[in-house]
């Protein structure tokens, strides 16, 4: 059968375009190792809180957890924080726990002052890069993970998203089955 050169060229171009778009689509996602974190148990950690106590993620088992990686130098993070404050107050009775992880080189005192200034009403722990790596790497901030009541990662959001999207993710996490927290 004779091969039509035009057809071959078109096929080659189409395949190339598909591959190029595939690569581009991949690269627009954050580059982490943990591509399949959703649906997996959220990696537990033990980190120092601003009050000096040690907090574990597993301390909040039974609650829907909004795990927010942030830093004092991150302006978009500052936009979200008042929303988290409101949403924590609104959904606390239903079992929401917002937990901030400061990926900062500022001192705990500075972070504490910053949090106070922002009116934060939820615990903040001092982050470590290793913890970020456990979550597939935190290439930029804010990065937020939504964890179900039974401790699984439901969603992760990179960068600033709207309040309504945050609230929708919270409601999704709250709707997950699991024991009701006693804390």
Partner 1 sequence: MWRTALLVSMLALGLAAADDLGLNRRSAVTFQAPELSSVHRGTASTVPLQFRIASGFHINSNQPKQEYLKKTELKLDPPTDIVIEKITYPEAQELSFAFAPEEKLSVYSGNFSIQVTVRPLQSVLPANYAVHGRLNYQACDKAACYPPKQLPVSFEVKVVKSAPGIKRNPAQSPHAHS
Which residues of the chain form contacts with partner 1 (CB under 8 A)?
Answer: 3, 5, 8-9, 11-13, 15-17, 19-20, 23-24, 26-27, 31, 71-79, 103, 105-106, 110, 114, 139-142, 158-161
Task: Label the pairing between strands 96-102 and 64-70.
Answer: parallel
How far is C-alpha 35 from the chain's CA centre?
A: 13
49 versus 118: smaller Cβ distance to partner 1 = 118
3 versus 53: smaller Cβ distance to partner 1 = 3
Q: Give the dihedral sign, CA 116/136/181/126.
A: negative
133 versus 150: smaller Cβ distance to partner 1 = 133
49 versus 106: smaller Cβ distance to partner 1 = 106
Q: In what order do the strands lie in the sheet with 96-102?
A: 124-126, 96-102, 64-70, 143-147, 153-158
Least distance CB 165 / partner 1 (angstroms): 12
The phi, psi pair for 180, rounded to 5°, reads -75, 130
Least distance CB 159 / partner 1 (angstroms): 4
Least distance CB 47 / partner 1 (angstroms): 18
Least distance CB 91 / partner 1 (angstroms): 23
Q: Which two tokens stand for residue 121?
A: 């009403």
Cβ contacts of 35 within 8 Å, gap of 6 or more: 29, 136
Least distance CB 38 / partner 1 (angstroms): 20
| Bridge partner list, 70 | 102
The tally of CA atoms less than 13 A away on the side-chain side of residue 90 is 11
73 versus 121: smaller Cβ distance to partner 1 = 73
């Amino acid at each position: 059968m004779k091969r039509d050169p035009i057809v071959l060229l078109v096929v080659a171009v189409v395949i190339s375009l598909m591959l190029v778009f595939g690569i581009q689509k991949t690269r627009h996602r954050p580059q982490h190792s943990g591509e399949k974190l959703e649906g997996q148990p959220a990696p537990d950690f033990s980190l120092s809180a601003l009050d000096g106590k040690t907090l574990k993620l597993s301390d909040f088992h039974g609650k829907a957890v909004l795990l927010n990686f942030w830093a004092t130098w991150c302006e978009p993070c500052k936009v979200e924080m008042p929303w988290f404050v409101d949403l924590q107050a609104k959904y606390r009775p239903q079992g929401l726990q917002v937990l901030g992880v400061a990926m900062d080189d500022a001192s705990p005192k500075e972070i504490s002052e910053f949090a106070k200034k922002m009116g934060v009403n939820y615990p903040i722990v001092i982050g470590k890069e290793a913890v970020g790596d456990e979550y597939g790497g935190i290439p930029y901030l804010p990065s937020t993970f939504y964890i179900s009541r039974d401790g699984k990662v439901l969603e992760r959001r990179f960068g600033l998203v709207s309040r309504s999207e945050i609230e929708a993710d919270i409601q999704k996490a709250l709707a997950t089955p699991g024991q009701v927290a006693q804390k």
